[in-house]
Structure 1
Amino acid sequence: MKNVTDSFVSLVHWPSAGSFGFNTDILATNPINLSVVLGVLIFFGKGVLSDLLDNRKQRILNTIRNSEELREGAIEQLEKARARLQDVQIEAEGYRAYGYFGIDEQRHESINSTYKTLEQLENNKNESIHFEQQRAINQVRQQIFQQALQGALGTLNSCLNNELHLRTISANIVLFGSMKELTD
């Protein structure tokens, strides 16, 4: 095993002319190694990398197009919503104005109806008062007439004797007879 390790160590110290070996000088080997690795990567990975970049570019462009379409759709919906909002606000203002107008109209109708009802009640009251006055007047007349009749009957009964009674009856018969002749 010592021989294998010695052979690797001795390879490190060999000069690089015409042979293969490890160079431990970092400053001398890194730029060369990096340029070789980059060259190989560029040569073999150019197609794969360009395909990946093209696919990525297409996805980004598709996403941008979709975003633009969605944006336009959103703007259109926003405009429709704004127009609808404006229509609803105008309609609400109309309802509000009509509501105020309707309330005012109902108030006027209620006042007019109340005045008409009060007028009818006043007329009914006046008619009732007039009717009650007429009834009271008629009752007073009847009472006065009954009292006068009773007074007259009382006076007649006290003053009337048989002879006067017969003369009154005879005068009334003559009066009715003359009325009968006039009507025939």
Structure 2
Amino acid sequence: MIGTLFLLNAEAGAESGFGFNFDIIETNLINLGIIFVLLIVYGGKVVGNILSERRAKIEAEIRSAEARAQESKDALAVAQKNLKEAQDNAVKIRSQAETNAEKAKSAVLAKGQKEVERLKASADADLNSEQERAIAQLRSRVVAMALERVESRMGEVLNDDKQRQLIDRSIAKLGE
């Protein structure tokens, strides 16, 4: 089509020379043809540049969004790892606390048991001591009573001669 337009234009220029063509229909077709050619040649480049710039911006935004998404995934993974470590640490601390509580409970019970045993032993010792003191007191009373009785009977049963013989025999036994 463009070739025919140039051919028609060349024929018209040859017949009349160079000049103005005032025929509206012919000039509009030629002008429209020239405008279409210019639009296709230069407009294609401009539109191509605009589209390539737009495409580059879109690609950059997509890459940026993908990078942010990856960073978010990485941050989520780190947060989940930290959460898992914190949960494990909490379980470990709770386990240690329970173990320590059991040890403390056992230690307190053992100490209490030792204290009870010590108090029992002390009470037994005090009781034995009191019992021995009471027995010793009773013995001394019994001995005192027995001596009183013996002395009273000796005065009745033994006279001076028998007392002397008893003393001499006792001294002789001591000398042996």
Same fold per superposition (TM over 0.5):
yes
Asked if residue 92 in structure 1 is aligned to residue 94 in structure 2, the reply is: no
Structure-1 residue corresponding to 2:49: 51
Taking CA–CA contacts closer than 8 Å with sequence separation of 6 or more, which of the two structures ends up with the larger relative contact order? 2
1-side partners of 2:44 and 2:173: how far apart?
A: 159
Secondary structure of residue in 2 paired with 1:18: coil
| Partner Cα distance (1:132, 1:175) in 2 | 37
Equivalent residue pairs, number? 150
Instruction: Name the counterpart of 1:172.
Output: 167
| Separation in 2, partners of 1:127, 1:179 | 39
2 CA distance for matches of 1:120 and 1:92? 41
Q: Does 1:18 align with 2:13?
A: no
Partner of 2:114 in structure 1?
116
Return the alpha-carbon distance in structure 2 between the equivalents of residues 96 and 18 of structure 1.
101
Residue number in structure 1 paired with 2:8:
none
User: Structure 1 vs Structure 2: percent identity of aligned residues?
Assistant: 19
Give the alignment's TM-score, normalised by structure 1.
Answer: 0.58
Question: TM-score when scaled to structure 2?
Answer: 0.60
Task: State the one-letter code of the partner of 1:18.
Answer: F
Provide structure 1 residue ranges, at least 5 long, that are not aligned to the other structure: 1-16, 21-31
Q: Secondary structure at the match of 1:111?
A: helix
- Per-residue CA deviations over 1:119-151 (Å, capped at 9, x if unaligned) read 332232222212211111111212222333344
Structure 2, unaligned stretches of length 5 or more? Answer: 1-20
Superposition deviation, residue 75 in structure 1: 0.8
Q: Match of 2:91, as an amino acid? A: E
